[in-house]
Amino acid sequence: MSVPANRPVPNPGILEIDTYVPGKSGVPEGVRLHKLSANETPLGPSPLAQQAYAAMTDRLADYPDGSSKQLRAAIARVHGINEDNILCGNGSDELLSLLSQCYLSPGDEAIYSEHGFLMYRIGILTAGATPVVAPETNLTTDVDAILQRVTDKTKIVFLANPNNPTGTYLPMSEVRRLHAGLSDNVMLVLDAAYAEYVRRNDYESGIELVAGSKNVVMTRTFSKIHGLASLRVGWIYAPSDIIAILDRVRGPFNVNAAALAAAEAAIEDADMVEKAIAHNDEWMAWTSEEMRKLGLSVTPSVGNFILVHFDDMGEKSAADADAWLTQRGYVLRLVGGYGLPNAIRMTIGTEEACRGAVAALAEYLKA
């Protein structure tokens, strides 16, 4: 895309950005929708969060607390960290963008893995910097590939752990090895949006690494296991000097009051989180096994979604399967934009949705 000479010209890098396309949610009229495209929790939000949200209806004329103090205090209590090292944002997307805005300039480079979150590239290019892609090994971030691409221009390394859309992760020993290979002026960003779902003894979200380092930050979200995607709430845990920088440029009221109240209630509801984990564990295992019985390859996932591959299915393709499923009300996510043209990502939904999607795929493969 180019801009005519007689028009305002955007900053360098903007025209290289492909517009982010969220998971679709439309199905034919009269067909019941089972949305399995956006990694939303099938259990919905905590009832306590719903009550807290509803209680804000008589305060809509008031500005929210610009410092998100009560929410930061609740996050600190739950995770055992210092609230002064927490900053809340309009989803973790905003915080990731702020990091690029504040720490990247034209001529700088930032690295992310081959199938990493598309918002990294968007943030890097928006800042006028150069995105550098490190190839993965078996759909998993390769630490050596990242370190081989670090130069004196490198200012940020983005690591989604677990990664979306692959569902794979790096054990903490590898994350620490990556950090050890970076100079002190290179920031390591740990995007732990799906951390609550991981049940592996060698996994850590990054809290301890942030606490003991000056160049590591961790981002988290309320959009996944807490079921507050529509409210857009995220948070970052970072060294105090990085928090101070981000605090200078964020919007003064970047999280709305209803979102703050709902998020505070949600993070305190440990029972709801455990229910969501238990449901995901059960139906992740069942759905993955049933997909494999159909002859499909499934990448082992530690998130709340699976990546299903059609590479060895002859004339059957992910795109055709997606169209077939959509006609029957099962909306999944094609991931060609992530460099996976013949794969489809499926969120672990309700029991009904999981069973129905598997049955519909079985029909497609026989058709």
CATH topology of domain 47-268: Aspartate Aminotransferase; domain 2 (3.40.640)
**304 within 8 A of 197, measured Cβ to Cβ:** yes
Comma-separated ranges of CATH 3.40.640.10 domains in the chain = 47-268
Segment (H or E) for 291:
helix 270-293
Provide the β-strand partners of residue 137: 140
Specify whether the CB–CB gap between 89 and 252 falls below 8 A.
Answer: no
Q: Are 71 and 87 in contact (CB under 8 A)?
A: no
For 143, the 3-state DSSP assignment is: helix
**10-residue stretch averages of pLDDT, the chain, 367 residues long:** 70 73 69 93 98 96 96 98 98 97 97 96 96 98 98 98 98 98 98 98 98 98 98 98 97 96 98 98 98 97 98 92 97 96 98 98 95
Largest CA distance in the chain: 59
The CATH superfamily label for domain 14-44+271-366 reads Aspartate Aminotransferase, domain 1 (3.90.1150.10)
Whether 18 contacts 337, CB under 8 Å: yes
Q: What is the pLDDT of residue 83?
A: 98
CA distances from 302 to 124, 277, 360 (A): 27, 11, 24
Domain with CATH 3.90.1150.10 in the chain: 14-44+271-366
pTM of the model: 0.93
- Whole-number Å distance between alpha carbons of 291 and 288: 5
What's the confidence (pLDDT) of residue 288?
98
How many Å apart are CA 259 and CA 43, to the nearest integer? Answer: 18
Q: How far is CA 287 from the centre of its chain?
A: 21
